[in-house]
Structure 1
Amino acid sequence: MLQSVPQTLVSLPVEQVGSPEAGPQISLLAGSVMLLMFDVDTRVWSAGRLEPACGPALAPLAALRLQREDGGTRLLFAFRRPAQMQTLSLFAGRVGQSVEVALDPVDDFSPTEPERLLAGLTPAAQVSLMTTFLETWPSIFRMRTSRRFVALLHRLVRASAPVEPPLVRAVARLDAATALIEGGLPMGCDAIGTLYCVSPDGMRRISGAPRYGAPGARGLRRFYLALETAGIGADTFIVLTGPNWFAVRRIEMPGDLASLTRWWRSLGKPDPVLREHAVALASSGAPAAQAAAVEMQLQCPLPPRALSGGPHLPSADIDLALATDRGMLVGGWLRDPLGMVTGIDLLAGDAALPLGAVQHTFSGIVGKGDDATAVTGFCALVAADVAVPMLQPRFGVALKSGERHVLVPPPQPVDVAERRSRALKAIPPQFLTGDAIARCLAPALAAIHGELMATQGAPRVVTLGTRLKAPRVSIVVPLYRVLDFLRVQVGAFAADGFVREACEIIYVLDSPEQADGLEHLLRGLHLLYDLPFVLVVMARNAGFAAASNAGAREARGDVVAQVNSDVIPTAAGWLSPLLAALEGEEFGAVGPKLLFDDGSLQHAGMYFAPGPRGQWLNHHFHKGMPRHYPPATVARNVPAVTGACLLMRRTLFEEVGGFTEDYVIGDYEDSDLCLKVRAKGFEVGYVPQAELYHLERRSMSVNADHARGAASAYNAWLHAQRWGDVMATLMTPDAALSASGQLEAECAA
């Protein structure tokens, strides 16, 4: 149990330790650090000075002025032991006392007595003394590892505490090396500044901010902190400091600590604020502690709460609350027929953070059939310091009457890929404006996608057959779930003599759950066509860019040909004109003519044009025109080519960093790569002499996140943020590309 302490600070009267000496007293703080203490009978209003009578000044030198309860002043000076005998002049303020002190470094000085330091000091002076000994002087004189100083500090802490210091107790295990500590402070101890753990053997600052809980019994306010358990013994103290107070607590460490989940269940009546504190503390610790926070929330979920007010009163619900290191992405709906709601807030501890400042609203419907009701949907990004593993944050609907109704969403997903999927569904595509992306979606989505990419493990590489030692071309084909075209594509590759003799084929599987089936299929095709393959299996789904880059890292060829799994050559020899275009210094990347399966044009180079909402979008020249449409038969420089079939010298591909991997799932990585090539001073070429079929987007159609359009809209926005000015320059009427007559009327439109 926590004990009530009527006074946090203890003032020791002079008579407890004997009357002060008439003159300055010198003692040892640490091995080579001296302490000079001088009591002055009157109030000293300015800092004292300690100067050698001759010779260089003492350096480093630290001074501290402390008020005594009898109206006098205690002056403390810390300095390193001089190498030779010196006479020191001590000035107690500008017009105060001055004395001379003879210091012989060979004398045997006694250790500093903590009781003597504390004797007769005012409470405020005790705070200043403790703060100085904990923070300032150990840093100036590098005494944190000094056994003498640590022993002195431990005695000072013990002497400043009541006869029996109150306890703080370890209540749960966060991980093998960290425990959750519960303690109590008087209500007057407001903001906790710094915390130190002090034992006879060492001192250390406790990192991480403690969290206050609800007020407890006997006027105490509970606090919680995470503490490393190494070195904690029966005589270990925690020292807490604030703006004008400090408190000492003894640590009680039970031998068998409960898990975070078991501790939470033992509390009986759940306290959601305490739950948030515990999750926040655990989330700032080691991976095991973060896992403990997630486990507690999943095993002990809060009941979801919505507001249902019927036909006239407000109704609201929160179904999305994804905590990221860029803020919390929140989504839900509100119905307020009589205008009674003043706002919705994120409740974080004692704070209420409004959603309105960064909120995007849109019309929506909840319910079905006769129960369908029109509501206002919303998505907001709240810049809050919320623990990233927080799965059920609380929200409050504030009414004009002053009432607040609490909303609790269902547990949010833990898997980072599912979190990204939920973020992409935060705003329906038809309401996904550039402003909504920039203010709400982009920061959170970038954080989640970055987290997903950071969790990628190393891919697994399988070689089927004997690889060419020095291939001319490495054909890299990313695969995601759809394997329907693989047999046809491999058959076309096998029928091409140049591919068989001078190329290696690298398949990259971005849906690793299909690895066994794909490996079996490729082994059969290898036996059938006597064609070697390299299979790269991603550790988890990472998207087009990451998969393509993984394949390129396995490449040995001078040229890397990025080819989609739904791209099929119309005939053998398709690589020759593309390689010829790369022979010179003009082009850094080239792409072929691509056809739909009905023979019409799918791709004859790409250009950029503003979309209906003014955002820059990628477009294909002459899309849907006949195969031999005259403008599409001319080899030329184009703004970009599609990544469905794109060739680059491997050295340049590596120099520009390959495909940029922060685009989500797939889209705009190819034009981004082409613009990076242009930034290096190269052009991008369209080569119509090479023709291939492209069964456009059939390899991506099974990805529901992409089909909704949110990923593509986000990628377009991100692409425009990076390259908007460049695209505007490329597409101006007087730009070289336009002036040459290569952009048809469709481009201008």
Structure 2
Amino acid sequence: MTVLAVLPASASIASAQLHALGDDFVLASWESDGPEPSGRVVPTLDGEEVRPPYTTLSVRTSWGGQRVLSILRAPRTSGVPVRFVAQSRVVAEVLAEPQVPDPDPAFLLGSLDAPSRLRVVRFLFDFARSTPALRSDAGFAAVCRRMVLELSPTPSPLVARALATDELLLCGGSLSSGFGEVTGAVIITAGAVGPSPFDVCIGSALDRRGRAAMSLLVDKALCAPGNLLVVLGRNGLACRAFSAVAPNLPSLTERLSTRRDTPLELRQYILNALAQRGRSDATAAAAVRELQVLAPLPKRQVADAKRSIGAALDLAVPTGDGGLFLAGWVHDPHALSGGLTVHTPFGGERRLEVLEHRFPREDVAKLFGTAPSTDRSGFVAYLPGAPEPAAALQVHAELRLGSGGSIRLVPPLRPLSPADARAAVLGSLPPQHATPLVLETVIAPAVAPLHAAHMASRGEPETVSFGRGPETPAVSVIIPLYKALEFLRFQLSSFATDPGMAGAELIFVLDSPEQRDELVHMLHGFHALYGLPMRVLVQPANYGYSAANNAGVAASTGRTLLFLNSDVIPDQPGWLPALLGALERTPGTGAVGPKLLFDDDSLQHAGLYFDRDVRGRWYNHHFFKGLPRDFLPARRERSVPGVTGACLMMTRETFDAVGGFCEDYVIGDYEDSDLCLRIRKAGLDIRYVPSVELYHLERRSISRHQGYTRGVASEYNGWLHARRWGAMMEELAARDWDQRTPPPALEDSLMRPLSAGAPTDTALPVAVPGKSRLFGRANRNRS
């Protein structure tokens, strides 16, 4: 305790009264004719400062004096003087009594004007807010109840309207239009008093009586008859009494979906409150998503050819990391608009002052009768920001006008899954308008977090086995599958009749799980026909080429890995041991790839190199593509910048050392060259092996992916690839890769099996789709 040095009083000492505030605190009150006490008023007990907390309030009475109220801990010793000291002078005193009466609200509030009465009630609530023990004191709650009812003897009802969650109710009432700004809300129960768990929502519209709708989300346990809601404002106080909860309340989703007149501010209040609760309540988090999905805002746009301005938000995608992607159009020939303001359902606001990235929209030009060649109504934009408390699935916006008015725009609900949202972003503008600046500042910031969220949703693939594979395979052959299954019968028949495949482990990875039953049925038949052991990994969803290959590697056991497309078909038996021999033959080799042919016998791949196009963008190219199969330079085994992932062999050790396939690319593009560049960065060589020839029916799977063919995925992947590897591609492009070594002779290893004791039967000819001749003829002229 602090001992105070008290000076003699300069005026008479006021006689204070003590009132009980529950079990542990008392309220002292006294009247003074003089001015308000200057400085801090310190209560003392027998000359020593009382233990905090304590606080004091002074209000002017109607007769011109001062009423001073002080809350302090209840003295535990009776007969001891309690003195109140201001600037070292005693201003009031009272003797501690064993029994202290409850306060009389009429006495405490009497002779006070409305603002002073509000200050007294707020004084009690504010002290309780900082004193947890007082909030749960039933005696204090009773005092607060009497004080509030003294000001509002007949509170209006607060009625439960809907069931928000199992534990939360939406209650509603009304407030006078003159109530003013709400500064707080307190709930008084029989045993406690404390701040409302959520703020109060006051509607902007007035009813016929000039009253504004008031809504409150409240815990069901608090929504009981007898409990009071006290709404505090700068200009007054309003008290509402909770009514009994009616049975069979509608859910919040039902109420919002059936009432099209739900105010936007109420909807935003509900979502924001549930999102805050959802951080610790899974039911509330689920309600946030359900409300947005099941009761979305109706789309709103201005698309009237008779109006001089039109606009629409076609897509608004919050990206989960705080960013917001927008796509839409604005037709504004008279320059009436002045930017866009976007509001999230949780109270966030973003402003877009200039629609910078514009492009033609033929549909808009047709609607307004403008020339397509001059139309630039389309736009895309990315707005950074802080993460929202929950996933925002729909926003609304205002196109600001120069006069201060606005045009309200509401886009459709954003695609629910990250993969669909990613595809929508990639499909939001024509590929020719995906400039490097747009890719860097708009597309990439939106696509990257959406892609990461999609990849993070992966579960374990399902495994279906056919037969028992080799215990210690020399090579694990990993074949990703997406959509195109029609080439498997040619590929599998080739494998089954090739003695060189005897020691290989065969793993298919299905990246289109909707084809699971079709594929399993197909492979079951092939296994019955050929007896070829194999496994299928069924991905839970389409996660792309890299993820499929990485999943295959994780399930494989071979010391060497071969990545093979499903549309690659060997020309003749023995190709796998020959490719393995080339990998092992030259020390320091990180990967090898064979010669790949189109089905007309022209060259599809003789190694991969990097070059820029006329716009300066880096692209992957294949040496000698389209030239004859036996073009002399394509017959030289040599070092190359890279090889295609359509048929790429490397050791597991190298694969693990470079981190496997990068999964940052969308759908299936540039992953193989990215892997090759990481192999070269590790100091290893990559070699082209022309003695091994296979047919490649190029890009049959990716052409069936709508997210790729309809959007700018290829442009994005190319931008990402160049951003990471531009310097290395520049260095590799400057090298001379035309090594003048003679073409190798046909090696004996072509017919050598992968494991000792494998059969050496003559391979059967294999029909190739789209060709009239047969593969694998031993007497082919190779000169």
Q: TM-score, normalised by structure 1?
A: 0.76
- 1:254 match: secondary structure: coil
Correspondent of 2:291 among 283, 290, 293: 293
User: What SS class does the counterpart of residue 445 from structure 1 fall into?
Assistant: helix
- What one-letter code is carried by the residue in structure 2 that aligns with 1:477? I
Rounded to whole Å, the distance in 1 between the matches of 2:613 and 2:39 is: 71
RMSD between aligned residues: 4.9
Where do 1:245-394 residues align within 5 Å? 249-252=240-243, 253-264=245-256, 267=259, 269=261, 271=263, 274=266, 285=278, 286=284, 288-294=286-292, 296-297=294-295, 302=298, 304-310=300-306, 313-325=308-320, 326-346=322-342, 354-357=351-354, 359-366=356-363, 373=370, 374=372, 375=375, 376-382=377-383, 393-394=395-396
Mapped to 2, the partners of 1:358 and 1:411 lie a distance apart of: 22
For 2:728, the equivalent position in structure 1 comes to 730
Structure 1 equivalent of residue 736 of structure 2: 741
Give the counterpart letter for 1:707 in structure 2.
T
**Where do 1:83-122 residues align within 5 Å?**
92-97=85-90
Residue 643 of structure 1 deviates from its aligned partner by 3.3
Query: Residues 577, 547 of structure 1: CA spacing in aligned structure 2 closer, same or farther, 3 A cutoff?
Result: closer
**How big is the shift at 1:521?**
0.3
By how many angstroms is 1:415 displaced? 5.3
Distance in 2, Cα, partners of 1:127 & 1:583: 87
Alignment partners' CA distance in 2, 1:334 and 1:68: 58
AA aligned to 1:378 is: F
User: Does the residue aligned with 2:362 lie in a helix, a strand or coil?
Assistant: strand
Q: Distance in 2 between matches of 1:424 and 1:382?
A: 16
Q: Which residue of 2 aligns with 1:489?
A: 491
The match for 1:437 among 434, 439, 443 is 439
- With over 3 angstroms needed to count, the CA separation of the structure-2 counterparts of 1:295 and 1:201, relative to structure 1, is farther
Deviation at 1:505, TM superposition (A): 2.0
Residue aligning to 2:562? 561
Residue 396 (structure 1) shift: 4.3
Farther-moved stretch of structure 1 (316-325 vs 205-214): 205-214
Counterpart of 2:250, as a letter, is A
CA distance in 2, matches of 1:527, 1:114: 94
Aligned counterpart in structure 1 of residue 131 of structure 2, from 113, 130, 137? 137
* Residue of structure 1 in register with 2:636 after alignment: 633
Tell me the secondary structure at the aligned position of residue 97 of structure 1.
strand
Match of 1:182 in 2: 172
**Deviation for aligned residue 1:309:** 3.5
- State the secondary structure of the residue aligned to 2:213: strand
Q: After TM superposition, give the deviation of residue 432 of structure 1 in Å.
A: 1.0
Structure 1 position 91, deviation (Å): 7.2
Whether the 8 Å contact between 2:510 and 2:538 is mirrored in structure 1 is yes
Provide the residue aligned with 2:8 in structure 1. none
1:574 equivalenced with 2:566 (yes/no): no
CA distance in structure 1 between the partners assigned to 2:658 and 2:55 by the alignment: 59
3-state secondary structure, aligned to 1:234: coil
Alpha-carbon spacing, 1:266–1:582, altered in 2? closer, same or farther (3 Å) = same
1:548 has 2:549 as partner: yes
Percent identity, aligned pairs only? 31
CA, structure 1 residues 675+23, in 2 after alignment: closer, same or farther (shift >3 Å)? Answer: farther
The alpha carbon displacement at 1:69 in A equals 3.8
> Secondary structure of 1:329's partner?
strand
Partner Cα distance (2:38, 2:635) in 1: 89
Closer, same or farther: CA 152–342 of 1 in aligned 2, 3 Å: same
Counterparts of 2:500 and 2:143 in 1: how far apart (Å)?
84
Q: Aligned partners of 1:100, 1:336: CA distance in 2, in Å?
A: 75
The 5 Å alignment of 1:655-666 reads 658-666=660-668
How far apart in 2 are the matches of 1:212 and 1:585?
76
Distance 1:430 1:645 in 2: 31
Give CA-to-partner distance per residue, 1:644-688, whole Å, 9 cap, x none: 334455566567664443432222333444556667x45362342
Q: 1:368 to 1:149 in 2, by over 3 A?
A: closer
Q: Distance in 1 between matches of 2:101 and 2:697?
A: 85
Partner residue, 2:700: 698
Between 1:449-458 and 1:579-588, the stretch displaced more is 579-588
Question: Matches of 2:646 and 2:721 in 1, distance apart?
Answer: 18
Q: Counterpart of 1:540 in structure 2: which amino acid? A: A
Output the CA distance in 2 between the equivalents of 1:430 and 1:302.
32
Q: Is the 8 A contact 1:392 1:410 kept in 2?
A: yes
Residue matched to 2:714? 712
Residue deviations 1:491-535 (CA, integer Å, cap 9, x gap): 33334445432x322222222221111110011111122122222
- Structure 1 CA distance for aligned equivalents of residues 448 and 737 of structure 2: 36
CA distance in 1, matches of 2:596, 2:422: 32
Aligned pair count? 695
Instruction: Tell me the CA shift for residue 148 of structure 1.
Output: 4.8
Structure 2 counterpart of 1:511? 512
Deviation of residue 125 (structure 1)? 5.4
CA distance in 1, matches of 2:561, 2:228: 63
- The residue aligned with 2:535 is 534
1:661–1:187: structure 2 CA closer, same or farther, 3 Å change rule?
A: farther
Cα deviation 1:685-718 (Å, max 9, x = unaligned): 2342655433321111111221135111122333
Identify if the C-alpha distance between structure 1 residues 728 and 254 changes in structure 2 by more than 3 Å, giving closer, same or farther: same
Amino acid at match of 1:43: E
- 2:529, 2:540 → 1: CA distance? 28
State how far apart, in whole Å, the 2-side matches of 1:740 and 1:456 are. Answer: 41
CA distance in 1, matches of 2:192, 2:16: 34
Report the equivalent of 1:43: 36
Instruction: Measure, in 2, the Cα distance between the counterparts of 1:196 and 1:630.
Output: 85
Q: What amino acid is the match of 1:254?
A: A
SS at match of 2:303: coil
Distance 1:287 1:38, change over 3 A: closer
1:274, distance to aligned residue in structure 2 (A): 4.7
Partner-residue secondary structure (3-state), 2:441? helix
- Give me the TM-score of the superposition, normalised by structure 2: 0.73
- 1:512/1:48 Cα in 2 relative to 1: closer, same or farther (>3 Å)? same
Mapped contact 2:157–2:242 kept (Cα < 8 A) = yes
Alignment-derived partner of residue 4 in structure 1: none
CA distance in 2, matches of 1:216, 1:577: 80
Per the alignment, do residues 631 and 465 of structure 1 end up closer, same or farther by CA in structure 2, a change over 3 Å counting? closer
Cα distance in 1 for residues equivalent to 2:216 and 2:156: 16
- Equivalent pair of 2:670/2:717 in contact (CA under 8 Å): yes
Q: Is the contact made by 1:307 and 1:405 (CA closer than 8 Å) also made in structure 2?
A: no
Find out whether 1:221 has 2:212 as its counterpart: yes
Offset, 1:175: 3.5
CA distance 1:241–1:491, shift in 2 (3 Å)? farther
CA distance in 2, matches of 1:601, 1:186: 82
Runs of 5+ consecutive residues of structure 2 not aligned to the other structure = 1-13, 279-283, 740-783
CA distance in structure 2 between the aligned counterparts of 1:588 and 1:205, rounded to whole angstroms: 67
Give the drift of 1:366.
Answer: 1.9
225, 238, 242: which one aligns with 1:234: 225
Question: Which consecutive residues of structure 1, in runs of 5 or more, have no partner in the other structure?
Answer: 1-19, 745-749
Alpha-carbon distance change, 48 to 447 in structure 1, aligned in 2, over 3 angstroms? farther
Letter of the structure 2 residue corresponding to residue 636 of structure 1 = S
SS in 2 for 1:525: helix
Residue equivalent to 1:14: none
Partner of 1:545: helix, strand, or coil? Answer: helix
Q: Distance in 2 between matches of 1:470 and 1:477?
A: 19
Residue aligned with 1:443, SS: helix
